[in-house]
Amino acid sequence: MPKTLLYFVTEDWYFCSHRFALAKAAQQQGFNVSVLTSVNQHGDIIRAAGFNLIELNIDRGGINPLRELRTLYQIWRVYQQIKPDIVHHVALKPVLYGGLVALFCPAIHTVNLIAGLGAIFTTNSYKSRLLRPVVILLLRKLFRRANSHMIVQNREDYNLLVNRLLLEPEQVSLIKGSGVDSDRFSPTPEPPGQIRMALVSRLLWDKGVGEYVEAVKLLRQKGLDFTALLVGEPDEKNPATVSAEQYKTWQEEGAVKCLGFVEDIAPVWRDVHIAVLPSYREGLPKSLLEAAACGRAIVTTDTAGCNEVVHNGVNGLLVPVRDVRALADALEKLILNKPIRQAMGVAGRAMIEKEFSDRHIIAQTLRIYNTQ
């Protein structure tokens, strides 16, 4: 009898961008696939793929106790009704809430993916400081549950779970990202004309968006001729979001060209020369993997996740976190040196084909499903 596999993800767009190909591969292996998520604009895509879509009223950034209890009850009802054999929890809130519910459903096997440790661990707001010790205690309890397996995306998170939360190494798998469609994101020659760079991300301060804008201003003061793109929009559900007012100010100043959200990002990478992401911390940044697949040199920070994608001096340049001057210097180096940019782009594409194509990543995850 086919096993039922349930994906629990907070946002339907995130499922489609990061887990859709994996779910299709699982379906092709014979799993009955369901998706539990909030439905915004991608419900028809999920249903058209033959997945059972279950809508969940969940606030990704919410902490209202009554609303969160109602959400937990909804999750419990779903787990009781469809009785999944395996639930794949994706990101911190589904891991915590789904894990709590699974404590009362001992037959369910859980696969828990933490794609970076989220705003609770990376920001120092009052809300984050309040929740952090509670989250750590919950993680210790949930991850030691029988029938539970963890997936992390970088070595730092792996070491945290094994050394700080004291999980057994066999309970944790390091799988680097969600994979890249290396056919869709294919290498192309650099575009002619003025140098163009792009930061593609949700507009959060901890993505280094502010440092990027300031570095661009420094380079403008030096008289360099280039275009700097900012691709993405603020995320009001995240405490680290850039405000709408700040975004409007950047648009009016004109140092960076603000494109907003772009659904199909592959043409963006084909139309630029340099990818930028000065993030404070990542799980594994999909935007940089896609840029590398397109043969673009990268400038990013020497921090968890980012330094899994870039080998300094090989396929890009690493700079310290929050260091605007170092970021500007690295960008200047690539703006002025075409042979270095192109050699880094070739190296990045080779790395994607060897380590990060979706075929590799999907195969590793399916092996975990088949052992549950």
Regarding whether 152 and 12 lie in a shared domain, the answer is yes
> Residue 166 has what pLDDT?
75
Q: Please, which pLDDT band fits residue 234 given cuts at 50, 70 and 90?
A: very high
Q: Sheet harboring 257-260: ordered strands across?
A: 257-260, 226-231, 195-200, 274-277, 297-301, 316-319
Regarding whether 206 and 70 lie in a shared domain, the answer is no
For the segment 174-233, what is each residue's pLDDT rounded down to a tens digit? 999 889 999 999 999 999 999 999 999 999 999 999 999 999 999 999 999 999 999 999
- Domain of residue 251: give its range: 195-356
Regarding whether 163 and 19 lie in a shared domain, the answer is yes
Regarding whether 49 and 162 lie in a shared domain, the answer is yes
Residue % of the chain over a pLDDT of 70: 95
For the segment 109-164, what is each residue's pLDDT rounded down to a tens digit? 999 998 766 555 656 666 667 777 777 777 777 777 778 899 999 888 888 788 87
Collapsing DSSP to helix, strand or coil, 111 comes out as: strand
Q: For 119, phi and psi rounded to 5 degrees?
A: -65, -30
For the segment 299-350, what is each residue's pLDDT rounded down to a tens digit? 999 998 999 999 999 999 999 999 999 999 999 999 999 999 999 999 999 9
- Residue 62: is its pLDDT beyond 80? no
Helix then strand then coil, in percent of the chain rounded to 5, is 45, 20, 35
With 0-12 CB in 10 A as exposed, 13-18 as middle and 19+ as buried, what is 3? middle
With 0-12 CB in 10 A as exposed, 13-18 as middle and 19+ as buried, what is 65? exposed
Q: Picking from 163-172, 259-268, 334-343, which range would have the lowest pLDDT averaged per residue? A: 163-172
Q: Which residue has the higher pLDDT, 54 or 114?
A: 54
> Residue 60 has what pLDDT?
65
Residue 86 resides in a domain: yes
Regarding whether 13 and 58 lie in a shared domain, the answer is yes
Number of domains in the chain: 2
Regarding whether 257 and 161 lie in a shared domain, the answer is no
The average pLDDT across 85-101 equals 92
User: Which CATH number belongs to the domain containing residue 114 in this structure?
Assistant: 3.40.50.2000
> Residue 123 has what pLDDT?
60
The rounded distance, in Å, linking the Cα atoms of 27 and 369 is: 12
The rounded distance, in Å, linking the Cα atoms of 181 and 353 is: 10
Residue % of the chain over a pLDDT of 90: 74
> Residue 139 has what pLDDT?
73
Collapsing DSSP to helix, strand or coil, 67 comes out as: helix
